[in-house]
A and B are shown apart, each in its own frame.
Chain A
Amino acid sequence: MSNESKVKIALSVNGEPAEVAFAPHKTLLEVLREDLGLTGTKHGCELGECGTCTVLLDGTAVLSCLVLGVACEGRAVRTVEGMAQNGQLHPLQETFADLGAAQCGYCTPAFLLVAEALLAANPHPTRDEIKHALAGNLCRCTGYIKIYEAVELAAARMRGEVAQPTRESLYGR
């Protein structure tokens, strides 16, 4: 495709200013993966039915497969690549790894971002509030329980509490 048929936008990606040119009918998912080289955001159903492609757009969790790239001019996008800071994993990434909340890992970037948005709005979520917040993300491996536990543990640590996973979470009954 020639440069003439591309559009160019400026936006913020993981806190850094970015300029990117792409075919105007591309979705944000395609722009992130194919034009910005950020493949942490995953392709799922591409129809808004699985949640796998979730990113944060100005802090709100959205389905990047249904957002047009051209609609993101001047906006702030956050992907899973932006979560670790200075080589230090985000508390959610740590607890997801420690508790086995990621198995095949395909849905994990989306779960991490939705959980991050939840904890930014509500540092003390109940199990029910976590379930509701994550109700748009499918995981076919974990059965969700470990994901809920990982979010609860990260929430406690982000509140400054000294929290350890329960023995049952790590080793089962």
Chain B
Amino acid sequence: MLRLPTFRYLQPRSLREALAMKADAGPDGMFVAGGTDLYPNMKRRHQEPRVVISLMGIEELRRLDGWNVGTCVTLSALSSLPTFQRSQSAVAGAAQLVSTPLLRNMGTLGGNLCLDTRCNYYNQSYEWRKSIDFCMKKDGAICWVAPSSPRCWAVSSSDVAPVMVAIGAEYRLVGPQGERLVPAGRFYHNDGINYLTKQPDEILVDVRLPAPNGWDAVYHKLRRRGSFDFPVLGVAAWIQWNGKKVGEARIVLGGVASYPQEVAAAGAALEGAPLSDEAIAAAADAAYQPSKPMDNTDFDLSWRKQMTRVYVKRALEELRARH
């Protein structure tokens, strides 16, 4: 049976109280929201905080204020809001594609945006990992996906994060030094271990979504089953329309790197012209080139790379069809 290790559980009622508790606990303390990422990881001894500080009792984090979404809003709530289904459909749609209905009832927006990176050599029980002498992400020294690599290649597996990067959302962080706003695209590092620019003692408070203003976005997800599975490829596509022409565009890939990977060349291939078949093919090809999945998730990696082209094309065709 998989049991949690022992720890102290604290339930602050305000941000100030939560920050003070974290300051007291130091590196032994971790914040938790829905627990659907942290608790399985604790059971497998990936993370072993001595103090767990729940954010779920903090009113400010559960607030929905226009296009500002508190990070403790559950994924179920986010995906079923009628206003979001209409105006922020890529956000609601991506939230609805996370795992299962049961998990979405517990898991939060903030948890999905801060989701631990994943890898076949890491997301295993302690005993399994011990049998291969562990890996560099936890308890070991080597990356089993790329043994000569100095870095960890665990995969960014969030569904909502690529959408946030694509639509240009901003994250509000509060920490001991005060408050800061970070563009979603600068919240992530391409490193399986240090995958967030958030400091451990900072709290991701809310996400500021851009108001609907002539832009549109979609998210397409590749996985083995229609439920449960993390993305082995996610494609978020955003277009700022200028009449029938594409004003600006962003294509962001999930599941192929340690961060949501924006492919600037793919967006650039679309700008200033109508969304023709040729433009879509050029963007899909531009996204295909730098898409370099590693052999550490489900499915054959060369097929996953090929699917980048297919999924970018489908995403853009959907945007064109509904414009």
Contact = CB atoms under 8 A, between A and B. Distances in A.
B96 to A, nearest CB: 9
Nearest to B57: A71
Nearest to B123: A47
A114 B102 contact: yes
Contacts of B132: none
A110 to B, nearest CB: 9
Contacts of A136: 99-103, 227-228
A24 B11 CA distance: 13
A141 to B, nearest CB: 18
Interface string B1-19: 1111111110100000000
A67 B40 CA distance: 11
Interface stretch (A54-62, A82-90, A92-100, A164-172): A54-62
B106 A62 contact: yes
Given A48-B40, A70-B9, A54 B101 contact: no
Given A67-B35, A132-B101, A24 B8 contact: yes
B173 to A, nearest CB: 24
Interface string A100-142: 0000000000000010000000000000000011011100000
A60 B74 CA distance: 12
A9 to B, nearest CB: 12
B36 interface: yes
A168 to B, nearest CB: 26
A27 interface: yes
A30 B4 CA distance: 11
B56 interface: yes
A71 to B, nearest CB: 7
Contacts of A13: none
A46 B35 CA distance: 13
B190 interface: no
B5 A61 contact: no
Contact of A63 (B2, B4, B54, B102): B102
11 contacts: A25-B5, A46-B2, A46-B43, A47-B40, A48-B39, A48-B99, A62-B105, A135-B227, A136-B101, A136-B227, A137-B100
Interface of A: 23-27, 30, 43, 46-49, 51, 54, 60-63, 66-68, 70-71, 114, 132-133, 135-137
Given A24-B6, A61-B101, A68-B39, 10 more contacts: A24-B9, A25-B5, A47-B43, A47-B44, A48-B36, A62-B106, A133-B101, A135-B228, A136-B99, A137-B102
